[in-house]
Structure 1
């Protein structure tokens, strides 16, 4: 907060309405209110009093969402469709944790214009950092929520609106539209950071419940440093769930958000709902204690109602679990229907964490109900708001059933793992490592160790929150592939202007003339080149440079940002400014082009046969073979592999033109969606789209054939599971297919000779040796 100029908080509304800037007696924060008060209006500085605060509207959860969008639409904001909960457009973040994430980093950096300005969005978000508090705090913490965001992007030459208008919109929405008494609303001065950006903000609270955050984004964050953004961004987050909770005056947010589904879950889990007076007493006391102090909460509620502590604990502990299960099952439905495949890494790890925590909660309640049955109820209940849930319902339920089966396998390992701690207590780091490596919940391991060896282990209340935070983003960002060069070479190459990419102008060019810009050790930079630099899984070109009768071999080609670096066997005669002629190894290049186009064809076939959860996890295209790693939750059948190969070869037989065009990022996403980014997310304002019309479209830097018929044929030579949730396909194309066939024939003949039979009789003879 020390870096904030306090004037940013002195807005027009406060002056015209006579608001007072005051300091909270409890947290020390400054806030604004139209009346004098000693607290900032948010817990724990005040109690939950919102149940007693009037409003002129009582709206359902879905009605609040629609009202929010309509309110800002009437005020000149264009409604933007929400994005998936898995942030496919980000390589530094797995999940969509806020509405602004949709526009980071391309729009917020000024690289790409926003899809509308100003705009409003109701964005489904998933945030797992508070997962251990979900249920226990009655809905103040959730793993999934809709963030209502109205955003304005202010450029130096185009001002939209800033602090004055943003606060006035909040006043109009909460006071005039919803009818909340003005003297109950507070605006607390604060600071916000997230997703690589930061800025001062107001937290808008009513009766202990924070209903919105109004962020004035000014900075890009890198570690502990702050760099001013080229534009100023209004980034607001209205809590749709909390607003519905406030308006409906229900004991918990779960009643307001889930309605009849909450009742269904009570019945499905054979749990009766605690009486309203217990729920209200719990809510009123939640503001008085810190998260994790459950014993204190039980005592306070029992004292307030005159009930035995044990009775209170029995009722509340079960309902806490039920609320968490209700929340988590919706989160699972959102994650899996948006294409996440549970696994041991990436976003799949986070999905599995939520699934297994939910299963643990069900086990704690001693309920035999299948998790898939509860997920099915969520899919049905929310399908009107999220139509994709109905379309992928069967696949989601199959994944959940497989995960439940795998979880049972994990539990069978508990005893063996516990035996390693017969003489000592595992550390917290060891519990995390065991959870990461084996998937064993720490509380189950602790129970086993205590039962067998009498050692009591205290598992931190925030264990899963800590684990989720550690895995919320890639530990190492996907490195730009061209930086497979020594550091000094990267620094040297970065000094030069962008290389003209002749391989994009004409992918079939073989010879070209160019001028040498620089030479360093065995590396050469030219002003233009037909040599393709390694990237997108496609290996760099080899070939030759001709100068003054000398022939120099190009051993490899790399890229540093937009500068192409040629790795040569000799730099004799290569001086700055001289003219050279280059020639690529066309046979090798053409084979790679065929394999690259085949990869796009195959990916389209995989998504049609297996589902649109298929996402590229890795690829390589060489002269003789290519591989494609994709996310999938089980091994394929022979029938599926045959169908995939058949569909892929149909595209080749149909002789479809491969269309390549450069499009503005927003236009490309509107046309093709986020499947564009199967091979990575380019940090550019325009995207080179490689499209096989009606079949596949991807943002791709690589070289391709002009027509699918040039691929010749695709033969899948191997399919294997290389990691949990990752399937690898190896395949070959065109003239390489006969080479593969000849190799198989030779192997078959060798087996036949060893068995002393003909090749045609091998399959009949083999069973006798098994």
Structure 2
């Protein structure tokens, strides 16, 4: 008789589902090292009777870490929850522990803490937006990277976004909000000020941040991990906003240690830049604005000088044939456009510059610049096009382009 597949009995008509995994990750004070038995193995995944590894869900990444058992250990790279059975499956890189083995799990504290700060900040920031305007409802969230996102309905504008950020900053600065995670029957949810309707029924886990005055700041049905005190996810910084599908506004934010590291890096870069500009950091925007104004003026002066030089170059080139044709070889490709726009009335002008940049301009009623350019490039190789009065492109034969134009005309 062949060997039965894991989780099945010989002759069974359907697999026996492994038992539900007892979650240990909901308690913020639960040690990240735990002991449990292996109840099933499938492929490279291991199911445990209990686990402190948070399984990826609700926009939050899974925990990672180690499984140890007598004589061996393996890396846990991902955890997922089977919604049908409640079993948490741990993807293992390397050797697998056998069914029945007693293992010690070790959740990496760094990723767990970052994920916890991100998720808590998402709740609090969403509530801050709701308090600015109840129309700002959450459509979706993602907290799988340092830059987290919340997609909002209600079209919050820049003033709303800054108001929500300021409200949350003030709230976290008071250091009063503490975490409560009761599990309540679905029928009792009406007794709580839920920010959004619960998507689960039965016994529902609530994540509540309550102030010392007893008032709730945020109440949500959630199975994620969260900080014991709201101030522990500070600072919460909005980086930018984007308009996404369905008219929703995506708010990109960072929280906790990741936000602090980001802000520190931004400040160091700003300080370095300020030193190069001989300005204090707080005056850097003014200094940059002044430099941009100087640059704009310099560009305008350069454009005027190029236009004057182009007119002189065109005037110095003699016209030949009928229709009158002027040919120019340029030593600066930036002069191509101003030269072409300086073509005299009733004439045709062709020019070529460094890198094969070329063009034809026509102020003659019977000559179409685009047609002439394409015909010349058919001889010399290259590509380009344009309108009847001006066409530009690039050629593979700088030396032969002007002669090709002469032959076309």
TM-score, structure 1 length as denominator? 0.33
Between the aligned partners of 2:251 and 2:121, the Cα distance in structure 1 is 12
Deviations 1:90-129 (A, max 9, x none): xxxxxxxxxxxxxxxxxxxxxxxxxxxxxxxxxxxxxxxx
Between the aligned partners of 2:15 and 2:138, the Cα distance in structure 1 is 30
Residue of structure 2 equivalent to 1:595: 118
Structure 1 segments, 4+ long, off by >3 Å, are 505-508, 745-753, 755-759, 767-770
Between the aligned partners of 1:658 and 1:769, the Cα distance in structure 2 is 53
Match of 2:68 among 532, 546, 553: 546
Residue of structure 2 equivalent to 1:644: 164
Residue of structure 2 equivalent to 1:563: 87
Cα pair distance change 1:591/1:508, threshold 3 Å: farther
Contact 2:68 2:104 in 1 (8 A): yes
Contact 1:498 1:563 in 2 (8 A): yes
Residue of structure 2 equivalent to 1:653: 173
Matches within 5 A, 1:346-745: 495-506=17-28, 508-561=30-83, 562-572=86-96, 574-609=97-132, 611-622=133-144, 624-633=146-155, 635-637=156-158, 639-655=159-175, 656-673=177-194, 675-677=195-197, 681-682=199-200, 684-693=201-210, 694-745=216-267
Between the aligned partners of 1:632 and 1:763, the Cα distance in structure 2 is 34
- Please state how far the C-alpha of 1:746 moved relative to its aligned partner: 5.7
- Please state how far the C-alpha of 1:618 moved relative to its aligned partner: 1.2
Structure 2 unmatched ranges of 5 or more: 1-13, 211-215, 297-409
Deviations 1:385-443 (A, max 9, x none): xxxxxxxxxxxxxxxxxxxxxxxxxxxxxxxxxxxxxxxxxxxxxxxxxxxxxxxxxxx
Cα pair distance change 1:752/1:698, threshold 3 Å: same
Residue of structure 2 equivalent to 1:22: none
Matches within 5 A, 1:199-214: none
- Please state how far the C-alpha of 1:564 moved relative to its aligned partner: 0.5
Matches within 5 A, 1:192-271: none
- Please state how far the C-alpha of 1:697 moved relative to its aligned partner: 0.7
- Please state how far the C-alpha of 1:747 moved relative to its aligned partner: 5.3
Structure 1 unmatched ranges of 5 or more: 1-491
Deviation larger for 614-623 or 555-564:
614-623
Between the aligned partners of 2:90 and 2:23, the Cα distance in structure 1 is 13
Contact 1:617 1:631 in 2 (8 A): yes
Contact 1:689 1:699 in 2 (8 A): yes
3-state DSSP class of the match of 2:151?
strand
- RMSD between aligned residues: 2.5
Between the aligned partners of 1:530 and 1:607, the Cα distance in structure 2 is 32
Q: Which has the higher helix share?
A: 1
Contact 2:28 2:225 in 1 (8 A): no
- Please state how far the C-alpha of 1:705 moved relative to its aligned partner: 0.8
Deviations 1:121-161 (A, max 9, x none): xxxxxxxxxxxxxxxxxxxxxxxxxxxxxxxxxxxxxxxxx
- Please state how far the C-alpha of 1:724 moved relative to its aligned partner: 3.3
3-state DSSP class of the match of 2:60?
coil
Q: Which has the higher strand share?
A: 2
3-state DSSP class of the match of 2:244?
strand
Between the aligned partners of 1:706 and 1:521, the Cα distance in structure 2 is 37
Contact 1:601 1:651 in 2 (8 A): no
Contact 2:143 2:149 in 1 (8 A): yes
- Please state how far the C-alpha of 1:507 moved relative to its aligned partner: 5.0
Between the aligned partners of 1:543 and 1:496, the Cα distance in structure 2 is 23
Cα pair distance change 1:767/1:741, threshold 3 Å: farther
- Please state how far the C-alpha of 1:672 moved relative to its aligned partner: 2.5
Aligned residues: 270
3-state DSSP class of the match of 2:26?
helix
Residue of structure 1 equivalent to 2:389: none
Between the aligned partners of 1:496 and 1:767, the Cα distance in structure 2 is 69
3-state DSSP class of the match of 1:503?
coil
Contact 1:751 1:762 in 2 (8 A): no
Between the aligned partners of 2:243 and 2:273, the Cα distance in structure 1 is 27
Contact 1:752 1:762 in 2 (8 A): no
Residue of structure 1 equivalent to 2:291: 765
Deviations 1:521-547 (A, max 9, x none): 211100000000011111111111111
- Please state how far the C-alpha of 1:734 moved relative to its aligned partner: 2.2
- Please state how far the C-alpha of 1:505 moved relative to its aligned partner: 4.1
Contact 1:652 1:708 in 2 (8 A): yes
